[in-house]
Structure 1
Amino acid sequence: MKERFRTMHLSVSSSHPSGNYMYIDPLPGDKSFTQRDRAFYLASPDFRPAPAYCVRFWYNMYGADTRSLQVYAKVGSGFGNAMWRNYGNQGETWHLAEVNVDPEFSKQPFKVVFEAVTDAHSLSSQWYPFSHPVDTDGDIAIDDVYVYNTTCKDIPTCPPGAITRKGANSSSCYTFHTTPKSWYKSALSCRQEGATSRLVWVTSQEEQDFIVNTTKQHAGLKAAGQYGWYTSGNDERSEGHFDWTDTGLFYQSAYSDWHQGQPNNVANNQDCLLLQYAGADYEWGDVNCNEAHPFICEVEFPTV
Structure 2
Amino acid sequence: MRLQILAVLLCSLASATAVYSGRKSCPLGFMQHKKSCYWFSNIHGSFAEASAYCSYMESHLVRINNKDEDGFLRSYAVRRGKAEKYWLGATDLNLEGRWLWEGRRPMVYSNWSPHQPDNYKGKEHCLEMKRAYSNYIWNDASCHGYSKSHFICEKEI
TM, length-normalised to structure 2: 0.81
Change in Cα spacing, 1:209 to 1:4, as seen in structure 2 (3 Å) is closer
Which one has the largest radius of gyration? 1
- Structure 2 gaps of 5+ residues are 1-8
Q: Would you say the 8 A contact 2:11–2:57 is kept in 1?
A: no
- In 2, the alpha carbon distance for the partners of 1:234 and 1:4 equals 30
**How far off is 1:153 after superposition?**
4.1
Q: Would you say the 8 A contact 1:277–1:285 is kept in 2?
A: no
- In 2, the alpha carbon distance for the partners of 1:272 and 1:278 equals 17
TM, length-normalised to structure 1: 0.43
Q: Does 1:250 align with 2:104?
A: yes
**How far off is 1:277 after superposition?**
3.9
Q: Would you say the 8 A contact 2:10–2:28 is kept in 1?
A: no
| Mapping of residues 199-238 of structure 1, within 5 Å | 199-218=61-80, 222-224=81-83, 226=84, 228-238=85-95
Q: Would you say the 8 A contact 1:231–1:273 is kept in 2?
A: yes
- In 2, the alpha carbon distance for the partners of 1:173 and 1:223 equals 20
Aligned position for 2:97: 240
Aligned position for 1:10: none
User: Larger relative CO (CA 8 A, sep 6+): 1 or 2?
Assistant: 2
Higher strand share: 1
1:187-237 Cα offsets, whole Å, 9 max, x none, are 00000012xx1000011110111011112222xxx122x2x1101100111
Aligned position for 1:159: 27
Identity value in percent: 27
Q: Does 1:288 align with 2:142?
A: yes
Change in Cα spacing, 1:238 to 1:173, as seen in structure 2 (3 Å) is same
**Amino acid of the structure 2 residue aligned with 1:234:** T
Aligned position for 2:37: 173
- In 2, the alpha carbon distance for the partners of 1:189 and 1:5 equals 12
Q: 2:87 aligns to what SS in structure 1? A: strand
- In 2, the alpha carbon distance for the partners of 1:158 and 1:152 equals 8
**How far off is 1:297 after superposition?**
0.3
Q: Deviation above 2 Å: which 4+ runs of structure 1?
A: 3-7, 150-153, 155-159
Aligned position for 1:35: none
- In 2, the alpha carbon distance for the partners of 1:4 and 1:185 equals 20
**How far off is 1:159 after superposition?**
2.7
- In 2, the alpha carbon distance for the partners of 1:269 and 1:174 equals 28
Higher helix share: 2
**Amino acid of the structure 1 residue aligned with 2:52:** L
Q: 1:262 aligns to what SS in structure 2? A: coil
- Structure 1 gaps of 5+ residues are 8-149
Q: Would you say the 8 A contact 2:130–2:136 is kept in 1?
A: yes
